[in-house]
Amino acid sequence: MSALERLAASLQGLGDLRRAEAMARHTTFGVGGPADLFLTVRSADALAAATRAARQADVTVFVLGSGSNILVADAGMRGLVLDNRARAESTDAPKTTWRVESGTSFAAFARRVCRQGLEGLAWAVGIPGTLGGAVVYNAGAYGGCLADVLRRVRLADDDRDEWVPAADLGLVYRGSVFTRGQFAGKTVLETELALTPGNAAELLARVAAFDTRRIAAQPRGRNAGSMFKNPPDHPAWRLIEAVGLRGATHGEAAISEKHCNFFVNLGNACAADVAWLVAEAERRVQEQFGVRLEREVAFVGEWS
């Protein structure tokens, strides 16, 4: 029996297991080939157990949130993909300390607490993705970022869970110890957030203003948000526009006319179409401006 088959047997009871699941169904880009094993888990404990089972079986494991910051290769993903739907949450009596499982929608949670008059996450209401993904990228917008409210996270390691203070996660602009590979193999199970009492009406007015700004600035359709981090001196979109790529297409992928740091799937794009445009933007910006664009979207899976 192969390591993959042994792992599949040991995952029984932890969630819904599928084979050769098309990742295109689970990414906001709508592209990506099959995952060998795809397990949907609905609790932090199942997420931890499945992470450990894969590590013990020596099978590559990838934790999937909402798939809103990844480009999955057309050849798909080898090993196990853990589809994280662990969404339990709890709070204390003044509702200022929240424990939220990592598969919870970050935007939906942010909207809920704003409605309850809690200050700290109004800026986050338009960010797709899970709390787990938000930790990995220190998700942020409009001057706020997760680090402002994150107190600690519960992580699954090889043999135990541990609570790690936010200060030890190396949270920076769209990065952390996870994106730098220092916490490879660790899974975010749960987050603890500190919010403060605020005024619900005032918070909801701010939420509405953020919604309006986002609708005005960002394209509709299938995409993964900003493709590149903003270099220190110029926003990435300005550099991409300056090299003549606004609205450029390749196959069924395009650089958005509306916001040229957004790469979009026009309908039936494959990952290779998107990757071609990304490489072209990187090449032209490097040649014309000597600036190395750094990808914010992670390319994952089997790229040849």
Ligand X SMILES: Cc1cc2nc3c(=O)[nH]c(=O)nc-3n(C[C@H](O)[C@H](O)[C@H](O)COP(=O)(O)OP(=O)(O)OC[C@H]3O[C@@H](n4cnc5c(N)ncnc54)[C@H](O)[C@@H]3O)c2cc1C
Q: How far is the CB of 69 from ligand X (least distance, A)?
A: 4
**Nearer Cβ to ligand X, position 15 or 65?**
65
**Nearer Cβ to ligand X, position 271 or 284?**
271
- Could you tell me how many residues make up the chain? 304
Q: Which of 42, 152, 174, 222 is catalytic?
A: 174
Q: Which of 66, 226, 256, 282 is catalytic?
A: 226
Q: Rounded to an integer, what distance in angstroms lies between the CA atom of residue 273 and that of residue 29?
A: 12
Chain centroid to Cα 173, Å, comes to 14
Residues 6+ apart with CB under 8 A from 61: 50, 51, 54, 55, 79, 80, 81, 82, 185
Q: Is 296 a catalytic residue?
A: yes
**Nearer Cβ to ligand X, position 174 or 284?**
174
Q: How far is the CB of 118 from ligand X (least distance, A)?
A: 20
Strand pairing of 70-72 and 34-41?
unpaired
**Nearer Cβ to ligand X, position 17 or 71?**
71
Supply the DSSP string of 36-69, one letter for each residue. Answer: EEEEEE-SHHHHHHHHHHHHHTT--EEEESSS-S
Q: How far is the CB of 137 from ligand X (least distance, A)?
A: 4
The count of C-alpha atoms lying within 13 angstroms of the C-alpha of 237, restricted to the half-sphere facing its C-beta, is: 14
**Nearer Cβ to ligand X, position 179 or 286?**
179
Q: Is 10 a catalytic residue?
A: no
Q: How far is the CB of 146 from ligand X (least distance, A)?
A: 8
- 265-291 as b/e, with b when 16 or more CB fall inside 10 Å? beeebbbbbbbebbebbbebbeeeeeb
Q: How far is the CB of 301 from ligand X (least distance, A)?
A: 11
Note the residues at the interface with ligand X (CB under 6 A). Answer: 28, 62-70, 84, 102, 127-130, 132-134, 136-137, 139-141, 178, 187-188, 218, 223-225, 298
CB atoms near residue 108 (< 10 Å): 10
Residues marked active site are found at 174, 226, 296
